[in-house]
């Protein structure tokens, strides 16, 4: 496995192209196996010490082992190859780069129904989210994404835990969010969710959120709690409200054109190992949550439990514009009664 950490080198590689095919013949139908080495870049915005990065290192090792070194993943953390949006656009334009993404970003490409997976209080727990990821309905949504956008999901089950709000104040009730400048990505699902509680969604890139909180550009930001340590946001604001408002479907996607250049064996290995990486990282994140809470409290963060029923009621309008019965079908596919 090769891991590149130089931003300058990453830029050079990006210019040169996203996939390296050394001395091999690969057909467009994906049926011809490479006799040499295929190298694919994997981009994400988490740090090199994050659970996501560690999971990717293990994925890359298994992929290299299973393919006898004929498929290599080069991992670029810390947004070295650009933002999540940047790499997703590269994939959609035909480059073979594997990018970190989420259901709302994929929906923004044109697969509208996928953004329901970024809705507030969609599922009750991570087990239900994983069950949906394994369902036929999710597979169908994935094929719709391919047809509509030219991007294929490798896995979208890197569940970091529920998302909560870290800010200058506590927000135990939805009305407490009124007027709060909340850092969000430039994605409609976030905007719709927080406008429902009269917050002011403010677009800031993930890698710039620390300085935005520190300088008062935003009053608060929302995240899974383990990432608060990784990104050190707790150094800037000291109130964590456990709103549990969203279980984000995070994972990795690749351009379909590049995916079809790979052999069937390589395709299957990527799908299987990225999915397993999601299962593994989800468990690690779940195991770390209580330790994270203790760490935050030891570093001056006050943790407040929110009125979840009130937040759920306040954000229920998020689902009003979906086709009749669609929400119920999604929840049934997740095993909810």
Helix (H) or strand (E) holding 250, with range, is: strand 250-255
Whether the CB-CB separation of 138 and 121 falls below 8 Å is answered with no
Residue whose pair of structure tokens reads 């970091």 in the numeric block: 160
Which domains are present in the chain?
2-106+125-159+249-286 (3.40.190.170), 163-247+290-333 (3.40.190.170)
Q: List residues bridging with 240 in a β-sheet.
A: 166, 303
Q: Is the dihedral of CA 216, 181, 85, 138 positive or negative?
A: positive
Record the tokens describing residue 115, joined without a space. 């953004």
Whether the CB-CB separation of 194 and 118 falls below 8 Å is answered with no
* Phi/psi-derived region of residue 69, left when phi > 0, alpha when psi is between -120 and 50, beta in every other case: left
Residue whose pair of structure tokens reads 């229920």 in the numeric block: 316
Q: What is the pLDDT along the chain (337 residues), one digit of tens a residue?
A: 433 333 333 333 333 333 333 333 333 344 444 458 999 999 998 889 888 999 999 999 999 999 999 999 999 999 898 888 888 888 888 788 999 999 988 998 888 899 999 999 999 999 999 999 999 999 999 999 999 999 999 999 999 999 999 999 999 999 999 999 999 988 888 999 999 999 999 999 888 999 999 999 999 999 999 989 888 999 999 999 999 999 999 999 999 999 999 999 999 999 999 999 999 999 999 999 999 999 999 999 999 999 999 999 999 999 999 999 999 999 999 999 7
Record the tokens describing residue 208, joined without a space. 């710039």
């Amino acid at each position: 496995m090769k891991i590149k950490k130089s931003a300058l080198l990453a830029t050079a590689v990006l210019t040169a192209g996203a996939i390296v095919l050394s001395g091999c013949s690969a057909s467009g139908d994906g049926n011809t196996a490479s006799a040499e080495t295929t190298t694919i870049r994997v981009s994400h915005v988490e740090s090199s010490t994050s659970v996501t990065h560690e999971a990717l290192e293990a994925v890359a090792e298994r992929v290299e082992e299973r393919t006898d070194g004929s498929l290599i993943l080069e991992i670029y953390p810390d947004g070295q190859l650009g933002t999540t949006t940047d790499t997703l656009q590269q994939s959609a334009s035909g480059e073979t780069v594997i990018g970190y993404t989420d259901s709302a970003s994929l929906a923004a490409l044109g697969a509208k129904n996928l953004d329901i997976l970024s809705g507030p209080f969609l599922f009750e727990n991570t087990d239900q989210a994983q069950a949906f990821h394994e369902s036929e309905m999710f597979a169908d949504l994935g094929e719709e994404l391919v047809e509509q956008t030219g991007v294929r999901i490798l896995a979208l089950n890197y569940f970091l835990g529920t998302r909560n709000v870290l800010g200058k104040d506590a927000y135990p009730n939805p009305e407490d969010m009124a007027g709060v400048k909340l850092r969000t990505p430039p994605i409609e699902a976030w905007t719709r969710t927080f406008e429902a509680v009269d917050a002011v969604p403010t677009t800031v890139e993930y890698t710039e959120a620390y300085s935005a909180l520190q300088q008062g550009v935003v009053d608060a930001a929302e995240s899974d709690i383990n990432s608060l340590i990784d990104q050190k946001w707790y150094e800037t604001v000291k109130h964590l409200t456990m709103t549990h408002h969203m279980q984000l479907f995070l994972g990795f996607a690749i351009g379909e054109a590049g995916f079809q250049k790979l052999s069937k064996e390589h395709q299957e290995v990527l799908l299987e190992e990225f999915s397993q990486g999601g299962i593994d990282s989800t468990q690690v994140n779940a195991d770390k949550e209580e330790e994270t809470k203790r760490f935050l409290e030891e570093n001056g963060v006050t943790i407040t439990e929110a009125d979840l029923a009130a937040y759920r009621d306040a954000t229920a309008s998020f689902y009003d514009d979906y086709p009749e019965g669609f929400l119920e079908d999604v929840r049934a596919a997740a095993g909810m009664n």
